């Protein structure tokens, strides 16, 4: 299931890479705004001002770039090689040093630069894991699958242009995600609503007590219910 659906979703983000920033009214402002919320939360949870962070679903770098601008040591990975290439370009344009790697969210063991103090998985990445087994594997059933459609319309020199992107999507229940994380060894999990965190999506946090080298796990599964 993941091989087939995962290929569909990767193809979508490969095609979307060039105009992904158009999802935001102002991408640079969103980079700064998200880092301004996530940064203090991660720093507080990890108990340090400079944190080793892995962005395990980095896309074109929205969270990774902002967190690196705050002085954190960030490493990014994403299954979409095209998105990783764009992230490298955007990082270089901002004179930042962020290593980016193409890697499957379900197994990032081959991504170098670890160990990490915190792992960030943002922007509905978990919703592309279409079965409970995939969710569990990403943390250490397909009955809620949907098709996601994204339309971007913009005015160009030759007139209005519309682009359509689609992908398989899985509305991951909170209980499923929490259970997968607990099965993978994470404890002291808690959910933060936007009204508490100031971020635009619900977040699942793992407390600061260390498990091996990992002190803080930040997930932003916007499709969780």
What pLDDT, in 10s, does the model give residues 160-209?
777 777 666 666 778 888 888 888 888 888 888 889 888 888 888 875 43
Tell me the CA distances in angstroms from 30 to 2, 43, 65, 73, 218, one per residue in order: 31, 19, 11, 20, 18
pLDDT for 29 equals: 95
User: What residue spans define the domains of the chain?
Assistant: 2-219
Question: What does the alpha-carbon distance between residue 99 and residue 71 come to, in Å, rounded to a whole number?
Answer: 14
Give the strands of the sheet with 52-55, arranged side by side.
100-102, 73-78, 52-55, 118-121, 216-219, 203-206, 189-192
CATH code assigned to 2-219: 3.40.50.150
Question: What does the alpha-carbon distance between residue 120 and residue 220 come to, in Å, rounded to a whole number?
Answer: 8
pLDDT for 136 equals: 72
Specify which of 70-79, 103-112, 185-194 reaches the highest per-range mean pLDDT. Answer: 70-79
Average predicted confidence (pLDDT) for the chain? 79
Length of the chain: 225
Question: What does the alpha-carbon distance between residue 35 and residue 121 come to, in Å, rounded to a whole number?
Answer: 14
The 10s digit of each residue's pLDDT in 86-99 is: 999 999 999 999 99
pLDDT for residue 130 is more than 90 = no
pLDDT for residue 143 is more than 60 = no
Question: What does the alpha-carbon distance between residue 16 and residue 113 come to, in Å, rounded to a whole number?
Answer: 28
Q: Which residue in this structure is represented by tokens 């943390």?
A: 139
Specify which of 45-49, 121-125, 218-222 reaches the highest per-range mean pLDDT. Answer: 45-49
Question: From the CA atom positions of the chain, what is the Rg in Å?
Answer: 17
Q: Specify the higher pLDDT residue, 51 or 223.
A: 51
Question: What does the alpha-carbon distance between residue 199 and residue 172 come to, in Å, rounded to a whole number?
Answer: 19
pLDDT for 155 equals: 78
Question: Quick one: pLDDT band at residue 115, thresholds 50, 70, 90?
Answer: confident
Question: What does the alpha-carbon distance between residue 194 and residue 200 come to, in Å, rounded to a whole number?
Answer: 6
Question: What does the alpha-carbon distance between residue 203 and residue 219 come to, in Å, rounded to a whole number?
Answer: 5
Mean pLDDT score, 62-71: 96
Mean pLDDT score, 6-15: 67
pLDDT for residue 217 is more than 90 = no
Bridge partners, residue 53, by sequence = 74, 118
């Amino acid at each position: 299931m993941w091989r087939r659906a995962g290929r569909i979703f990767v193809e979508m983000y490969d095609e979307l890479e060039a105009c992904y920033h158009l999802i935001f009214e102002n991408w640079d402002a969103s980079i700064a705004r998200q880092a301004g919320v996530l940064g203090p939360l991660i720093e507080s949870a990890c108990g340090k001002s400079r944190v080793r962070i892995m962005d395990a679903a980095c896309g074109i770098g929205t969270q990774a770039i902002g967190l690196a601008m705050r002085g954190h040591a960030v490493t990014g990975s994403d299954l979409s090689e095209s998105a990783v290439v764009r992230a490298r370009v955007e990082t270089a344009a901002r004179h930042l040093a962020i290593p980016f790697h193409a890697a499957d969210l379900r197994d990032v063991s081959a991504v170098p630069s670890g160990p990490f103090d915190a792992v960030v998985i943002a922007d509905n990445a978990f919703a592309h894991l279409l079965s409970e087994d995939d969710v569990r594997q990403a943390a250490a059933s397909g009955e809620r699958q949907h098709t996601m459609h994204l339309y971007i319309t913009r005015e160009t020199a030759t007139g209005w242009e519309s682009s359509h992107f689609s992908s398989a999507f899985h509305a991951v229940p909170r209980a499923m995600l929490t259970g997968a994380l607990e099965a993978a060894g994470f404890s002291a999990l808690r959910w933060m609503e936007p009204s508490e965190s100031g971020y635009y999506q619900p977040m699942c946090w793992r407390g600061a007590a260390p498990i091996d080298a990992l002190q803080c796990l930040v997930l932003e599964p916007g499709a969780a219910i």
